[in-house]
Amino acid sequence: MPEVNRHFEDRVRGVDFVLAYYSKDQQDDRTKKRKIFEANLIREGLQLEYDKTQDIHFVKIHSPKEVLYRYAEVLKIKLPMKRIPGQSQIYEEDNESSDSKVSSCWKLFQPIQNTASILPCKQKRIYAEFQMKYEQLFDCDQPDFFDAGTRIFIINFILERQHFVEGEETPNNLGIEKLLNDKVYASAYALHDKSNRELLVREWSDLANWKHFQPLDEIKEYFGAKVAIYYAWLGFYTRMLIPLSIFGILFFLYGFITWHSDPISKEICNTNKTTLMCPQCDRNCDYWELSKICKTSKINYLLDNNMTVVFAFFVSMWAVINLELWKRYSADIIHRWGLTGYTQDVEHPRPQYLQKLRNNVKFSKKLEKQDPESVFEPEVPFWSIKFLPSFTSYSIVVLSICVSLMAVFAMVIYRMAQKASRSVLGDENSTTYKVMTLPITASIIYFVAISILHHAYSFLARILTNLEYCRTQTEYDESLTIKIYVFQFVNYYSSLFYVAFLKGKFVGYPMKYNRIFGFRQEECAPGGCLMELCLQLVVIMVGKQLVYAIIEVSLPYLMRILNKCLKNVINIRRNSQMQSVKSNQWTEDYYLQPWAPRMLFAEYLEIVMQYGFIILFGLAFPLAPLLALIN
């Protein structure tokens, strides 16, 4: 099998990044933007080479060491230093003291160690911020001194800060992301290392490796620290779900085993004793016997029994222990990867932020007086510049929260109207309808509504964050995270809070019921609202997991099929290029699913919301940790 080409024509310089565009795209405006943008890249020191032998033209980018050194110092990137005497002994002592603190119970949930010959242990290194004047202290001769993640980070930093329109430097003509949105380039991506990718596919992403440790060091070198930390957190969280899932199953089994020993259910189901209850509607409802809810009370006992308080205590303790153990675990891997000591002050400002300041009438004069080559940033006053956009943004956030609460209120009105209509028809006393059918149908309708609001809020949050003056990418991400999480917290949890804490608390009493729009307020089932809370939690949590699972599994699969068909069509149309298409890495990687700038954000949000379901409402459904573990 021929070796896949990942180099320039000289077979010496490697391809670090690729820009692609269609050969038929010869619009003067787009062609001019590409030329200006690529000229700016060359001016920054990057080396470009063109592949125009196919229907898709590729711009291959190589970052020389001089550029990597310069930007590593500017960005204060921590790089491995040369070994010092006694270094290995320090790490051995740290590992011994760390292992002695791990209890034998915790080791039961540890994965199996991978074979050392397949994934050998990485050499422990000491990291420090790179400076050219101390170059002799760094291990610059090491082949992977700049790993793939660092090289891509530096190139992406350069790509995000280059203009593509001469004489008009605004946020609308800045950076590779804007060029991709305007279809000037069809794609921008880093090349995969085939050997490392095959290793990760075989030893990590395959489902058969679920019982093994994740090769976090290899993931960090290949995808970068952000992706590796996500998978470290996901693996830790999954491992911590195991004891909670086991306890949830035992709690559920306890309810089944002691099903017939519940004194409350026995009293309700006693046919020799007649207990009349008040009518549950205003029309066509008569007094009814308490024994009619015999089955409902037994089902409710599965969730509300003597072990409920114990399970609630265990969940609370699990949440605290999970948080503390994660702090310790994350500190260990962050130290091992040389990511400690990060401060937001050293992070460079976003180019969009600087352009917004230049376009601000109040602030532009102050910027004009500053030396363009100055390393100091002018201070931006909060009240005169930042206050109004921030106030507008968060005012709309509050308005959006009110919309979510209105959706909950609409669901309540729907259920009250359904009960009122059935009371007119004379079918209100159906226990199955009140306890099962109505809550499930209302929950499904509500789930569809909040799913639509979920996408609307995510889109709105990005627009609002773009209005603000977020200096760094970290500030931007934090502001966006707060908005989306507040949106989704209210969106997904508000109905559950209503059922758990508000429903049935303000009903009134016979002959003086409290009403909304003429309807009697909702009442809990005779056994309480716990069963309804369980049903609603199952519908929202399971429905959310199914939707995400279908999207995450089917969408990449369909995209691969579509790209493969597209590739075959191109190959059929241009048979002379068949060997060229097969023999270079940039063509193969072009047909892979593109990487979005905040692709991990949705993954984090999904797991965080799932964690909230377990901690806040897991008492209503003890199998929720098991569903989360399966997910």
Give the model confidence (pLDDT) of 229-287 as tens digits.
Answer: 999 999 999 999 999 999 999 998 998 888 888 787 777 777 666 777 777 666 667 77
Among the candidates 501, 523, 545, a domain finishes at 523
Q: Answer whether residue 441 shows pLDDT above 90.
A: no
Q: Answer whether residue 347 shows pLDDT above 50.
A: yes
Alpha helices by DSSP H, 75-190: 87-101, 104-107, 148-159, 176-181
Does residue 98 sit within a domain? no
Does residue 18 sit within a domain? yes
156 to each of 61, 188, 474, 476, how far by Cα in Å? 11, 10, 16, 17
Does residue 457 sit within a domain? yes
Instruction: Find the helix or strand (DSSP H, E) in which 27 lies.
Output: none
For residue 524, what are its two tokens?
């809990």
Q: How confident is the model at residue 571 (pLDDT cuts 50, 70, 90)?
A: low
Mean residue pLDDT of the chain comes to 80
pLDDT in tens, 32-84: 999 999 999 999 999 999 988 888 899 999 999 999 999 999 888 888 888 87
Q: What value does the CA radius of gyration of the chain take, rounded to a whole number of Å?
A: 30
pLDDT of amino acid 259: 80
Cα 445 to chain centroid distance, Å, stands at: 25
- One-letter amino acid at 560 equals R
* Sign of the four-CA dihedral 85, 89, 91, 94: negative
3-state class (DSSP) for residue 476: helix
Q: Answer whether residue 115 shows pLDDT above 60.
A: no
Cα of first residue to Cα of last residue in the chain, in angstroms, is: 38
pLDDT of amino acid 535: 85
Q: Answer whether residue 550 shows pLDDT above 60.
A: yes
pLDDT in tens, 2-13: 566 788 888 888
Q: For residues 359 and 367, what is the distance between their CA atoms, to the nearest angstrom? A: 10
| Count of structural domains within the chain | 2
Among the candidates 173, 191, 209, a domain finishes at 191
Average of per-residue pLDDT across 563-582:
58
pLDDT of amino acid 619: 87
Does residue 587 sit within a domain? no
Q: For residues 621 and 530, what is the distance between their CA atoms, to the nearest angstrom? A: 9
pLDDT of amino acid 498: 87
Among the candidates 167, 191, 215, a domain finishes at 191
Q: How confident is the model at residue 328 (pLDDT cuts 50, 70, 90)?
A: very high
Does residue 589 sit within a domain? no
For residue 152, what are its two tokens?
């891509």
Does residue 434 sit within a domain? yes
- 93-99 contact pairs (CB < 8 A, 24+): 98/332
Q: Phi/psi at 195 (nearest 5 deg)?
A: -65, -45
Does residue 81 sit within a domain? yes
177: containing domain: 13-85+121-191
pLDDT of amino acid 580: 46
Does residue 53 sit within a domain? yes
Q: Answer whether residue 149 shows pLDDT above 90.
A: no
259, 629 contact by CB (below 8 A): no
Give me the residue label for tokens 């990760």.
200
